Structure 1
Amino acid sequence: MNRISQLDSLRGIAVLGLLLLNSYYFALFETGYVRPQVPVLSDQIIQYLNLLLLDSRFRTLFCMLFGAALVIQFSKRNNIESLKPRLIAIGIIGILHSIFVWPGDILLSYGIAGFLALSYLNANNQRVLHHGIALFFLSCTLLLLLSFTSTDEMISRQSAQFELLVTSAPSDLPSLLIHNVAMTAIMLLMLPILTLWNALGLMLIGMYCFKKQIFTLGLNKAHLTLTISAIFILSATSIALETIDGQKYAGINEALVWVNALFGALLVTHLNAKISFGRVLLMPVQAVGKVALTCYLMQSFIMICYFVWLNPQARASYNRIDYVELAFVGIALQLLLAPLYTRYFTHGPFEYVLKHLSLKIAQRHKD
């Protein structure tokens, strides 16, 4: 089965976009970006742009594409059991990535959610869609409820809490490993409470979208109108809440952002399917999509090296614009190197590792 260029370009968009949003958490995983006591203008502009265009969109799109990939693999093999070794391998890579590099890993949750999604591969489209939507909105509701239980106060860069956070941040390999193990344990605790259901819901929606050819043909007129309207209403609401009192309404806003991200991912999917005049320009993005696993893992490895060893002072001094500039440098390098790599190699280094680890797991299962 030939690769689907629309999926490659969407996968490339998703993995490049993840770098824009993850860059804050590579520096300080516990809090992400901490604003100055008096925010600079560029901070405020980027914050609003994040709310309108970026927050959670790329993670949502990536998760939907994972669901589509399950359908593609099942259509090749027509055997659910044959898909399990790959999911186990993804989970193994994810837990290693989380412990040794960065605990914000998404692969482990994808591997576990993927196991649950396997039972839907033979289900009818309506069941897949309805369960996907229900699980997704359940996760948004759980996120909202969890926000009401939080007693954390928003800190500023001039606070004692921030100074303690920066001074206790990992500065060498042993402290990085200790930090990552502790954070990974917390992320694993959150998995059955929240993260798993969000990932599973989005995967099922992605499976439905692939079966209905939305990834390749786009949305119909009615669904496109609904999507654009929802984005407009949700974005306006988020901006209003942020303007009135961003700290007070942070939990509500985060839940709204999750919902908005789904509609945003659908709009990106539609535009990617419909806009043909930019297809040549998307070729470097497609190349990134072909080696998305390698790009994703290398992003975190390089960024962690940067913030832990090369420029740890950046944790305390970078404004949002600095993180954006750093992310754009990373994006540009991936757009430059991925086409060169894929010209000579079929699989990325970590795609190769995933393939052979999956084969070894499958062989052990047979034995």
Structure 2
Amino acid sequence: MNKRIRLIDSLRGFSLLGILIANMLIFQYGIFGKDEIAYFHLRPWDEFMYVWIKIFVESSFMPIFLFLFGYSAIMLKNKLDKYGKRVKWHLFRRFLLLVIFGLLHTVFLWEGDILFSYGLTGIVMLIFVNRKRNTILYWAIGIFLITSLTNLVPEEEITNKETENISSYIQKANDIYATGTYHEIFEFRNSGEDPYELSDYFYPALIMLTPFITCPMLLFGMYAAKSGWFTNPGPNRMKYGEMALIFVIGGLLLKSVQYVYTGSIFGNVTYAVGGPILAMGYIFTFSYFYSGSGQKYLSFFEGIGRLSMTNYLFQTIICTSIFYGYGLGLFGKLGVLNGFFLAIIIYSCQAIISYYYLKRWKMGPFEKLMRMGTYLSWSGKMQST
């Protein structure tokens, strides 16, 4: 395996750590509860950790995964071109499988799935696969600016009735997730109950708009692959370092606005813009250290990155078994700080298991299914024409 692929795999594994830490808020408090954290009366150290995760982690690691999703799509395109295969049909099948896995994941296991939206975004973004790199860059920047500006729309004040609905819903969710059977949790998760009582058209519209909200980072990943980023990291190390400083500092400042200046009308938009900017900062920071002496340490992330989909799905199985009623029933009880340490322990175990797993097998079970569906081959390998 060449150095470029190892860097991308390691970076993907690194992103999965941040995703797990951010997802711990959903595993512990629910998809709505994590943003209404005041209802849980956190201890001071948990409040500090909650804000830390919001600024340093949430909205800045999933974009890394999406960036690498776009990057890998172009790498696969180049491979398909080399073998004379129909590029868009192969990619369409791959993205469609993600949509299917995502639907199964969110219906039967957990409400915080990202695979469905990523697959949907990939299908829509197929129109850019054969475009020139600058065209992709312009579209990425344009869509990013437009979707970011939508956060300037002022939020309506929550009425007393809505406050009561949210409080009632969160209490109900706490009871069901902490003590319910698998069937009870399944029924609640798929009931369509909405504490905000939004229009019936809101969620179908959101599904349709999601590809345009999430696509900028995917397009940036496509641009990076077409521009040859990370193919020869050594000579570009200083450039990675300079970009890391700019993007990390800029991203952290933007994401901090709504916590430093509470009530700022620009808090939502700066947070929305800061998330992907900080993600790019993490990408450049990781690449800077990986292209130097840090490679021997950062390769720790490589195995889990090669088995990213399998590890992501197993994180759901592990965490729902810990927090839901059909497992240990710790929903809402562990605390944000302890949840952070639990995420580190789970991730470390996965990294060790992945390392030894790959000594015997070349790919994980879900990676194998993805390759089988992409190439229409039982072996999961691309067949010669």
Q: Percent identity?
A: 20
Q: Secondary structure at the match of 2:345?
A: helix
Rounded Cα–Cα distance in structure 2 between residues aligned with 1:83 and 1:240: 39
Alignment partner, residue 175 of structure 1? 184
* Equivalent residue pairs, number: 354
| 3-state SS, counterpart of residue 208 of structure 1 | helix
Q: For residue 206 of structure 1, report the CA deviation from its aligned partner.
A: 0.8
Deviations 1:23-71 (A, max 9, x none): 1102322222624676533224323422442121110000010001110
Matched, 1:57 2:66: no
1:109 alignment partner in structure 2: 117
Selected match of 2:274 from 260, 277, 280: 260
**8 A contact 2:254–2:273 mirrored in 1:** no
1:230–1:196 CA distance, 2 compared to 1 (3 A): same
Which of 11, 26, 31 does residue 29 from structure 1 map onto?
Answer: 31
User: TM-score, normalised on structure 1?
Assistant: 0.85
Distance 2:152 2:184 in 1: 33
CA positional deviation for 1:101: 0.8
Q: Distance in 2 between matches of 1:37 and 1:348?
A: 38
1:345 paired to 2:361: yes
Which residue of structure 1 aligns with residue 221 of structure 2?
A: 206
Matches within 5 A, 1:38-117: 39-78=42-81, 79-117=87-125
User: Secondary structure of the equivalent of 2:143?
Assistant: helix
Distance 2:143 2:191 in 1: 28
1:317 matched to 2:333:
yes
Match of 1:10 in 2: 11
Partner of 1:272: 286
Q: 2:155 aligns with which of 140, 148, 160?
A: 148
The TM-score with structure 2 as length reference comes to 0.81
Aligned-pair distance for 1:236? 3.2
Structure 2 CA distance, aligned partners of 1:269 and 1:99?
A: 32
Deviation at 1:307, TM superposition (A): 1.2
Q: Is the 8 A contact 1:214 1:270 kept in 2?
A: no
Residue 196 of structure 1 is matched in structure 2 by 211
Tell me the CA shift for residue 190 of structure 1.
2.0
Which residue identity does 2:216 align to in structure 1? G
Tell me which protein shows more helix as a share of its residues.
Answer: 1
Q: Structure 1 29/110 Cα, relative in aligned 2: closer, same or farther at 3 Å?
A: same
Name which of structure 1's ranges 342-351 and 113-122 shifts more when overlaid on structure 2.
113-122
Amino acid corresponding to residue 197 of structure 1 in structure 2: F
Letter in 1 for 2:281: L
Cα distance in 2 between the residues matched to 1:36 and 1:348: 40
Query: Judging changes above 3 Å, is the alpha-carbon distance between structure 1 residues 231 and 94 closer, same or farther for their aligned structure 2 residues?
Result: same
Secondary structure in 1 matching 2:32: coil
Distance 1:32 1:353, change over 3 A: same
Instruction: Provide closer, same or farther for how the CA distance between residues 287 and 142 of structure 1 changes in structure 2, counting only shifts above 3 A.
Output: same
Cα–Cα, structure 1 residues 232 and 210, in superposed 2: closer, same or farther, change >3 Å? same
CA distance in 2, matches of 1:187, 1:295: 28
Q: 1:252 to 1:307 in 2, by over 3 A?
A: farther
> Considering only aligned residues, what root-mean-square deviation do their CA atoms show, in Å?
3.1
Cα deviation, residue 311, structure 1: 2.6
Q: 1:176 to 1:203 in 2, by over 3 A?
A: same
Deviation at 1:181, TM superposition (A): 2.6
Q: Does 116-125 or 167-176 show the bigger shift?
A: 167-176
Of the structure 1 ranges 260-269 and 179-188, higher mean CA displacement relative to structure 2 is found in 179-188
For residues 209-246 of structure 1, the C-alpha deviation after alignment (integer angstroms, 9 at most, x for no partner) is 1222334456797886566345434533543431443x
User: Can you list the C-alpha shifts for 1:231-262, whole angstroms capped at 9, x where unaligned?
Assistant: 434533543431443xx45x843442332222
Q: 2:159 and 2:277 mapped to 1: Cα distance?
A: 30
C-alpha distance 167-47 of structure 1, shift in aligned 2 (>3 A) = closer
**Equivalent residue for 1:242?**
259
Q: 1:160 to 1:289 in 2, by over 3 A?
A: same
Structure 1 residues 131-140 or 104-113, which shifts more? 131-140
Distance 1:349-1:226 versus aligned 2 partners, 3 A rule: closer
State the Cα distance separating 1:16 from its structure 2 match: 1.7
